[in-house]
Amino acid sequence: MSTNQDTHQARNAGARRQTKARDIAHACKAMLHSLVAALGVHLPNTDHIPEPLAGKIRAGQIAAILRLTPVMMIANLLNVGTVDWLFWQSDHQVFLIAWSALTITLAVTGLRSWWRNRPLLQNDGLPRRSRSSKSIRRMIINSAVLALLWSMVPITLFAQAEPGARMFIAVLTSGMMSAGALALSTVPLAALTYTFMLALASAFALISAAEPVLVYIGVILLIYTWILAKTTTWKADMFISRLIDQAQLVKQNELIGLLLRDFEESASDWLWEIDEQGRLQHVSMRLAAMLGQPAAALQNRRFREVFCPHAGHAGTGNLQLVEDLIAKRAPFRDQVVAVTIGGIDGWWSLCGKPVFDETGAYRGYRGVGSDVTQSRRAQERIAQMARFDGLTGLPNRAHFRELLSARIAGEAATSPPALICIDLDQFKSVNDSMGHTVGDRLLVCIAGRLTDTVGDTAIVARLAGDEFAVLPSGPLREEDVVELARKVIAIISLPYQLHGKQVQIGASAGIALTGDGACSPEQLMNNADLALYTAKNEGHGQFRVFGPAIDAEVRKRRTMTEDLQAALKADEFSLHYQPVISACDNSLRGFEALLRWTHPVKGAISPADFIPVAEESGLMDEIGAWVIRTACAEAASWPRAVTLAVNLSPTQFHNAQLLNIILGALGTSGLSPRRLELEITETALLTHSTATVNTLNHLRSIGVRIALDDFGTGYASLSYLRGFPFDRIKIDQSFVRDAIERPDCAAIVKATIGLAASLGMASTAEGVETGAQFDWLRDQGCTDVQGYLFSRPRPAEDLPKMFEQGEKLFADVARKVA
């Protein structure tokens, strides 16, 4: 129990002693601070420095002192020896023994401390270890003790010393003061404590000698001490600032290192560096991984041999440009170079900046690189898609135009280029009847046949859906181009085996030659298009060469378009009506409205001539709407049993407004929808859509009937008869005309009548001109007839007379025939 109490008391006493010592230290420090402040000396302020850094700065301050410790302590020992030798004969032997013992002990302690800390003193930068404020305090105390010991020398020995010895003491103390101040300067309080104590002791010794010279020297000493104090604190300030800067630099370097590591680890980019000879330096792990070689193996390798080891990959990379820029020491950004790594071609994007050292000498390049192969390939794909047809891989219209321009610019002088435009016949029906997969496959096969046929002698392009173009190269005469067109049509027309089925298709071609006055790509393509259009109009599987005749035809069409526009405004159109007769009882069923145009100068123009022009120029929608309105208004005044047939152009058929126009005409005229029949041709069906079928169904649902006009002349397949809601088939007059003489025509007419009957449709034979034709048709079961035999198309004003004659009119005709 008492032992515990003793220990407790001892601890308390120790703590009290420590507190007292700390208080004394604080008081001394405060005194020193006041003294220093009073002397106008500014101690470096380190209060704002955060503790971890302050600890390192303290370590730096102490390390700087320790580094000089051996020299200082050896000097101390030498000085102790000199003082002892000089003053041993004096009466101060006891003092000298005690003083020397203490000083030597202190010097040896200092040397021991230096020896222990030696490994930490190698680097004169910011130390890695920290030091506490206690270490600084200890340093100040050590300095104070050393100063105290050396102060004894002037105080004790100066007064009775010989002039020579006095001189020695003066030199010794001033030397010790200056050297000590400088050696301790990194801890300013230690330096000032040391300097002030030694200075005061020396000044005291000098002044107390009471000799004017010595007093004067004492005053000078104090003044120098003040200068020394100022220099010391200034040096300390510099030293501490340098350590703070170093700390910041280390921090920045660590941060940069961290960012770079993070960049290398997470980004797809990598860093590269070359020396002044263009050899790779500090190869990063990522770059090594990119190149598939160890970093060490890449060190000092040449830029070119690393980035482009094989000359095979030409690409479009600009390695040469990068090398030129490096030679010029110019910075560069986003330079794409073609690389071949491990036999695989790719592209790298490089940015680089020249590096110069502090003397301005070139030291190489540093930069960032990234693998842009993927984006480059994507770009190339996009460019490819923009210029080539995705299905056939042939150049598309835009690219073909470029090629044509280049050909015209390059060869026009030597061999004027020729152009063949090709359009497939009945491609729509293949697509409709066999599906789009077969259609696409067919286009690919055609593209293949075309390229195989022309080989390297021409460029083949796909201009649109079923439109192709051939641009022959080299000097060609017109006959050669014609021969090539013939060959192309023949090769396309050979049968194809697609998905186990045989498919056959034809083609028409239009040829344009530069000699026709065409010199621009647009003009040449336009001429070829016009020739193609003419070829298609004249029948399928044909070709035409653009020439004056087609040109004249085009001009004629242009004039006619202008005239048609004027005709609409000038009310030059009228309608004639041709009766449709029932073959069973010779009664009048109704009338077909037929458009008439009387040109003010050229007179009557046939619908067969102007309707195609109106369709092409887009005027047919407006003219057709006028026909529907006028015919419905006229028919509304006819006897209720008489029907009206109106022809619809393919362009009208595809017009989204058609339903509204018809409903409007019926509504305005008051004509019953049941009395209206619309005649559409097979051509209209070739480009139908769901919307057009919906329109027909809608019209049928309100009672309007639909007839398929000119059956047998178009290109529609029989499947349309199943898919479309027809009420009537009109047999084209070309078959009717020859039905009596030609068995093939008779067979077609018979088959058509039978087909209509079996599908529950009525049949009308057009162009019936003779009684024999009428008899034969009636015998075949044709339900209705129409033709000059009964009446030519008549103007509206003739119709009332027909109605008056009624049944009698056509019964008479029929009787005469019989």
The answer to whether 611 contacts ligand C2E (rule: CB under 6 A) is yes
Angle between helices 620-635 and 658-669 (to 10 degrees): 30
- Cα–Cα nearest to 197, from 210, 183, 181: 181
Structure tokens at 413: 């002088």
Q: Which CB atom, from 376 or from 589, has the smaller least distance to ligand C2E?
A: 589
The answer to whether 769 contacts ligand C2E (rule: CB under 6 A) is yes
Per-residue exposure over 423-446, b if at least 16 CB sit within 10 Å of its own CB, e if not: bbbbbbbbbbebeeebbebbbbbb
Number of residues located near ligand C2E, criterion CB under 6 A: 25
Q: What contacts 787, CB < 8 A, 6 or more positions away?
A: 733, 736, 765, 766, 767, 768, 769, 773, 774
Residue with tokens 């000698």: 209
Choices 296-304, 373-381, 509-517, 765-773; region in contact with ligand C2E by CB under 6 A: 765-773
Min CB(598)–ligand C2E separation in Å? 13
The entry of ligand C2E, Mg ion, none near residue 611 (CB within 5 to 8 angstroms by kind) is ligand C2E
- d(CA 731, CA 753) in angstroms, rounded, equals 8
Binding residue for ligand C2E, selected from 423, 529, 621, 709, defined by CB under 6 A: 709
Window 751 to 770, contacts with Mg ion (CB under 5 A): 766
Choices 112-120, 194-202, 253-261, 782-790; region in contact with ligand C2E by CB under 6 A: 782-790
Binding residue for ligand C2E, selected from 184, 594, 642, 749, defined by CB under 6 A: 594
The answer to whether 784 contacts Mg ion (rule: CB under 5 A) is no
CB-based burial label for 123 (10 Å; 0-12, 13-18, 19+): exposed
Strand partners for 379: none
Choices 424-432, 538-546, 715-723, 781-789; region in contact with ligand C2E by CB under 6 A: 781-789
The answer to whether 766 contacts ligand C2E (rule: CB under 6 A) is yes
The entry of Mg ion, ligand C2E, none near residue 608 (CB within 5 to 8 angstroms by kind) is ligand C2E
- d(CA 418, CA 546) in angstroms, rounded, equals 11
- d(CA 336, CA 127) in angstroms, rounded, equals 46
Window 496 to 555, contacts with Mg ion (CB under 5 A): none
Structure tokens at 430: 């293949």
The entry of Mg ion, ligand C2E, none near residue 787 (CB within 5 to 8 angstroms by kind) is ligand C2E
Number of residues located near Mg ion, criterion CB under 5 A: 5
The answer to whether 634 contacts Mg ion (rule: CB under 5 A) is no
Q: Which helix (H) or strand (E) holds 816?
A: helix 807-817
Q: Which CB atom, from 593 or from 708, has the smaller least distance to ligand C2E?
A: 593
The answer to whether 607 contacts ligand C2E (rule: CB under 6 A) is yes
Tell me the DSSP string of 78-119.
HHHHHHHHHHTTSS-HHHHHHHHHHHHHHHHHHHHHHHHHGG
- Which amino acid makes up residue 152? M
- d(CA 373, CA 384) in angstroms, rounded, equals 16
The answer to whether 608 contacts ligand C2E (rule: CB under 6 A) is yes
The answer to whether 85 contacts ligand C2E (rule: CB under 6 A) is no
Q: Pattern 631-670, binding to ligand C2E, x per CB under 6 A?
A: ----------------xxx---------------------
Judged by DSSP in three states, 186 sits in coil
- d(CA 467, CA 469) in angstroms, rounded, equals 7
The answer to whether 209 contacts ligand C2E (rule: CB under 6 A) is no
- d(CA 23, CA 10) in angstroms, rounded, equals 20
The answer to whether 516 contacts ligand C2E (rule: CB under 6 A) is no
The answer to whether 679 contacts Mg ion (rule: CB under 5 A) is yes
The answer to whether 767 contacts ligand C2E (rule: CB under 6 A) is yes
The entry of ligand C2E, Mg ion, none near residue 594 (CB within 5 to 8 angstroms by kind) is ligand C2E
Tell me how far apart the terminal alpha carbons of the chain are, to the nearest angstrom: 158
Contact at 8 Å (CB) between 99 and 149? yes
The answer to whether 361 contacts ligand C2E (rule: CB under 6 A) is no
Q: Which CB atom, from 144 or from 627, has the smaller least distance to ligand C2E?
A: 627
- d(CA 510, CA 400) in angstroms, rounded, equals 16
Residue 665: other Cβ atoms inside 10 A: 22
Four-point Cα dihedral 744, 745, 749, 751, nearest 10:
20
The entry of Mg ion, ligand C2E, none near residue 606 (CB within 5 to 8 angstroms by kind) is ligand C2E
The answer to whether 709 contacts Mg ion (rule: CB under 5 A) is yes
Binding residue for Mg ion, selected from 710, 750, 761, 793, defined by CB under 5 A: 710
Q: Which CB atom, from 114 or from 774, has the smaller least distance to Mg ion?
A: 774
Q: Which CB atom, from 356 or from 788, has the smaller least distance to ligand C2E?
A: 788
Window 724 to 743, contacts with ligand C2E (CB under 6 A): 733
Binding residue for ligand C2E, selected from 85, 356, 362, 788, defined by CB under 6 A: 788
Choices 392-400, 409-417, 706-714, 790-798; region in contact with Mg ion by CB under 5 A: 706-714
Strand partners for 395: 388
| Interface residues toward Mg ion, by CB under 5 A | 647, 679, 709-710, 766
Which residues of this protein are in contact with ligand C2E, per CB under 6 A?
A: 578, 593-595, 606-608, 611, 624, 627, 647-649, 679, 709-710, 733, 766-769, 786-788, 793
